[in-house]
């Protein structure tokens, strides 16, 4: 592989006009496709194989035209102190609002509080439900404005009016903090590479790669049903790895220049060595992201594949566009150790050059490996402790900041109708094969009323055919509580008994039941996902490092990192530690998909640093150095760059903490924390300590396996053979001339 990539690097350097034109054309093509495509909506959320989804599909089939997946809004009214919503003036204001809302072009129906039981027992609070024919993200802005205007008109009558539901859902914004993250990355690149131009190359190529990836996602959003969050997460991961991959190639190019090679040769060598590590690091990230498909939640699968595509583009850009741009830069990109005059280069050195920080740190670790190992493991173990209290759920209006109208509407409904009113359960009774469907509907309602934690059970509402009915159930507790989860299981158990006696299916759905099923499905999928992703990456790393223990150490280190990062997420977003600093206005359960998504992404990123750092150590070992010295040599050449790459990635991920979307905010924090733990504790401390303790045993591989594995030559040994052959030719020519 090293030889192929070496030739690719030299080709890209020589044919830089062609390579640059190709990428510019690809960016323009993707941009044109995005410009002509409809805006990304809210990806349809489905969970194949779950009872909640089965019931949802049955509703679509048996109750056509009811827009079961349409947006909903609850307009909540509260009377002034001392008044009731049934007072003539207040009642007239509400009915006027209902009439105003009913005229909307996308509105299917609006419920009248005074006819549908929408007034609280004490008469102080009432609500009207608005159902739309399209999802919240597909609503026209005019419909949202009409909803807000109707609420504002009602406020003028003296009522308190708030709006809940997903009708006000908007495309999430990442905020200015993302720009700050890119700014931090730029500063780190300048310090690391010692040149404004050299620092600009990784930023430029990363932006090109993310531009192509996000534009492609936007162009295909309508066709593939991709949600707006998909492009945000793809840009988050693509930007981080794009900068890192380019940084490693540029850094190796400068090191090759310092060895006295020509610029074209240095570009070829950089792509042949660092580029090999980029390929395998990218493969581990792609495996981890594509592996999310085993969970069988379409939204998560699409997010993973979209992000994996952006990572693949980042790898290709690092291998081709970077050497092409280095060809354009010429002498303005200086050898390693030299800085531009603007940054203090060209000055005489006052004293002998000291060993760099990476050399000094690695020398310290190999002298005290056991102490460093124990300190790192204990520290990460302590950070992981909060993960034992992890509570999973999906965000609803109750997790919104108290400043939002959605949260205020949620609180008003809880005040007037009880906490369970915000998470009603929808029981679907399919009595198509029953002799007396009406009797089955009544039996189901009676058995549900007899269960604990039930406040109200509405009469069964059959469809036109009379063979299927829905029963609305109001729990006694809030949607995210354990009591509500137990009630869902109790209803399903009662439904199984009804089916045994009558043959009718009793299914529970609704947002609350859907959340419960999502959490269960993700929990069930976590172990198979870990086995698949870690297993495939383990095999890949065996090929890269030609070792059994090094990949095993990498996997165990990853588990420490991800558990510690999950502990930090729980501490901040569930317990509320440092919540003000992180902009967390409301604590609550961690999103159900957070653990499995973090496992996938963090594993891929953790293997990035493992590949970049350990391939340099193995390169020194292959070239004859003893194990401890090889660790020091590897850190001398790669610690500075790996540190810079980690800081850049942390800065980029931290920028997404400013997002208005709670999922993006939480993922940004979790990934930034995971990279911090993995890069600076696991890869910079635990890895060299373990390698120093293992010595030569770290590189042990059974002979039969050594013969069976392909030689991918990540260390560039074939390039060293080219050097030896060239030196031999020079010697022969000298002898002939003599």
| SS3 of 513-552 | HHHHHHHHHHHHHHHHHHHHHHHHHHHHHHHHHCCCHHHH
CA atoms of 236 and 220, how far apart (whole Å): 19
CA atoms of 277 and 5, how far apart (whole Å): 11
Structure confidence at residue 465 (pLDDT): 85
Q: Which residues of 515-526 are buried (b: 16+ CB within 10 A; e: fewer)?
A: bbbbbebbeebe
Predicted TM-score (pTM) of the model is 0.77
User: 627 and 695 in contact (C-beta within 8 Å)?
Assistant: yes
Would you state the structure tokens that stand for residue 604, as one six-digit string? 């891929």
Structure confidence at residue 729 (pLDDT): 52
Residues in Cβ contact with 220 at an 8 Å cutoff, skipping those fewer than 6 apart: 33, 37, 226
Burial class (CB in 10 A: 0-12, 13-18, 19+), 349: exposed
CA distances from 147 to 97, 99, 329 (A): 9, 12, 56
Structure confidence at residue 533 (pLDDT): 80
CA distances from 521 to 289, 428, 533, 535, 559 (A): 18, 21, 18, 21, 21
Residues in Cβ contact with 578 at an 8 Å cutoff, skipping those fewer than 6 apart: 571, 572
User: 275 and 580 in contact (C-beta within 8 Å)?
Assistant: no
pLDDT digits (tens, 9 = 90+) for 538-561: 888 888 888 899 888 888 888 899
User: 595 and 390 in contact (C-beta within 8 Å)?
Assistant: yes
CA atoms of 33 and 220, how far apart (whole Å): 8
CA atoms of 477 and 423, how far apart (whole Å): 9
Structure confidence at residue 717 (pLDDT): 63
DSSP assignment, residue 423? S
DSSP assignment, residue 467? S
Select from 98, 164, 168 the least CA-distant residue to 139: 168
Q: Which residues of 278-310 are buried (b: 16+ CB within 10 A; e: fewer)?
A: bbbbbbbbbbbbbbbbbbebbbbbbbbbbbbbb
CA atoms of 549 and 695, how far apart (whole Å): 11
Structure confidence at residue 689 (pLDDT): 94
For the chain, 738 residues long, the average pLDDT of each consecutive 10-residue run is 87 94 94 76 64 85 69 89 91 92 85 85 91 75 88 91 81 57 80 78 89 86 69 80 87 87 90 86 85 81 87 94 92 73 48 73 93 94 91 73 84 90 89 86 91 87 88 87 88 90 88 84 83 82 86 87 92 84 74 80 77 83 85 88 85 77 80 90 92 90 85 66 55 52
CA atoms of 186 and 188, how far apart (whole Å): 5
pLDDT digits (tens, 9 = 90+) for 599-658: 877 777 777 778 878 888 887 887 788 888 999 998 988 888 888 888 888 887 887 777
């Amino acid at each position: 592989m090293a030889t192929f990539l070496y030739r690719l690097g030299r080709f890209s350097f020589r044919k830089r006009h062609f390579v640059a034109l190709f990428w510019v054309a690809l960016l323009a093509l993707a941009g044109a496709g995005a410009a002509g495509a409809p805006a990304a909506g809210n990806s349809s959320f489905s969970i194949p194989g779950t009872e909640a989804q089965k019931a949802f599909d049955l509703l679509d089939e048996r109750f056509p035209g009811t827009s079961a997946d349409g947006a909903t809004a609850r307009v909540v009214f509260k009377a002034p102190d001392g008044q009731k919503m049934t007072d003539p003036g207040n009642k007239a204001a509400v009915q006027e609002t209902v009439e105003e809302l009913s005229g909307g072009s996308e509105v299917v129906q609006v419920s009248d509080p005074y006819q549908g039981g929408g007034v609280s027992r004490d008469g102080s609070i009432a609500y009207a439900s608005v159902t739309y024919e399209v999802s919240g993200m597909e609503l026209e802005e005019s419909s949202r404005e009409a909803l807000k205007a109707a609420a504002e008109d009602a406020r003028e009558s003296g009522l308190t009016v708030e709006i809940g539901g997903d009708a006000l859902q908007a495309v999430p914004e990442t905020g200015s903090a993302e720009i700050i993250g890119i700014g931090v990355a730029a500063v780190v690149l300048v310090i690391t590479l010692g040149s404004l131009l050299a620092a600009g190359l990784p930023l430029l190529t990363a932006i090109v790669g993310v531009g192509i990836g996000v534009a492609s996602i936007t162009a295909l959003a309508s066709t593939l049903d991709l949600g707006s969050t998909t492009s945000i997460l793809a840009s988050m991961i693509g930007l981080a790895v794009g900068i890192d991959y380019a940084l490693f190639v540029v850094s190796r190019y400068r090191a090759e220049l310092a060895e006295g090679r020509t610029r074209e040769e240095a570009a070829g060598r950089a792509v042949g060595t660092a580029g090999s590590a980029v390929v395998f690091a990218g493969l581990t990230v792609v495996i981890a992201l594509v592996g999310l498909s085993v969970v069988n939640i379409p939204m998560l699968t699409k997010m993973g594949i979209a992000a994996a595509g952006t990572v693949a583009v980042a790898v290709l850009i690092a291998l081709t566009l970077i050497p092409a741009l280095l060809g354009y830069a010429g002498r303005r990109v200086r050898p390693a150790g030299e800085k531009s005059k603007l940054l203090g280069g060209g000055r005489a050195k006052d004293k002998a050059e000291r060993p760099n920080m990476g050399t000094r740190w690695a020398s310290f670790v190999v002298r005290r490996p056991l102490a460093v190992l124990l300190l790192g493991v204990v520290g990460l173990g302590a950070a992981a402790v909060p993960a034992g209290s992890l509570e999973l759920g999906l965000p609803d209006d109750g997790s919104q900041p108290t400043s939002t109208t959605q949260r205020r509407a949620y609180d008003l409904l809880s005040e007037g109708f009880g906490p369970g009113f915000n998470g009603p359960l929808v029981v679907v009774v399919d009595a198509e094969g029953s002799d007396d469907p009406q009797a089955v509907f009544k039996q189901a309602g009676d058995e549900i009323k007899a269960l604990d934690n039930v406040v109200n059970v509405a009469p069964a509402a059959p469809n036109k055919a009379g063979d299927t009915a829905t029963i609305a159930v109001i729990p006694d507790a809030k949607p995210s509580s354990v009591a509500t989860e137990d009630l869902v299981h109790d209803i399903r158990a009662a439904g199984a008994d009804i089916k045994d006696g009558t043959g009718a299916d009793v299914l529970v759905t609704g947002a609350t039941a859907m959340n419960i099923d999502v959490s269960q499905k993700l929990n069930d999928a976590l172990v198979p996902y870990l086995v698949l992703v870690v297993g495939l990456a383990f095999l890949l790393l065996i090929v890269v490092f030609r070792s059994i223990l090094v990949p095993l150490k990498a996997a165990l280190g990853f588990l420490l990192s991800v558990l510690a990062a999950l502990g930090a997420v729980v501490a901040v977003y569930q317990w509320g530690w440092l919540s003000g600093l992180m902009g967390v206005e409301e604590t609550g359960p961690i999103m159900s998909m957070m653990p499995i998504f973090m496992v996938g992404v963090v594993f891929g990123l953790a293997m990035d640093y493992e590949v970049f750092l350990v391939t340099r150590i193995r390169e020194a070992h292959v070239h004859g150095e003893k194990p401890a010295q090889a660790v020091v040599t590897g850190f001398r050449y790669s610690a500075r760059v790996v540190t810079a790459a980690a800081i850049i990635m942390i800065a980029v991920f931290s920028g997404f903490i400013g997002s208005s979307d709670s999922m993006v905010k939480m993922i940004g924090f979790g990934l930034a924390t995971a990279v911090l733990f993995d890069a600076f504790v696991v890869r910079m401390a635990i890895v060299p300590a373990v390698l120093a303790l293992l010595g030569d045993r770290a590189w042990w591989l059974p002979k039969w396996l050594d013969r069976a594995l392909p030689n991918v030559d990540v260390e560039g040994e074939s390039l060293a053979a080219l050097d030896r052959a060239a030196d031999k030719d020079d010697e022969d020519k000298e002898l002939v001339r003599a």
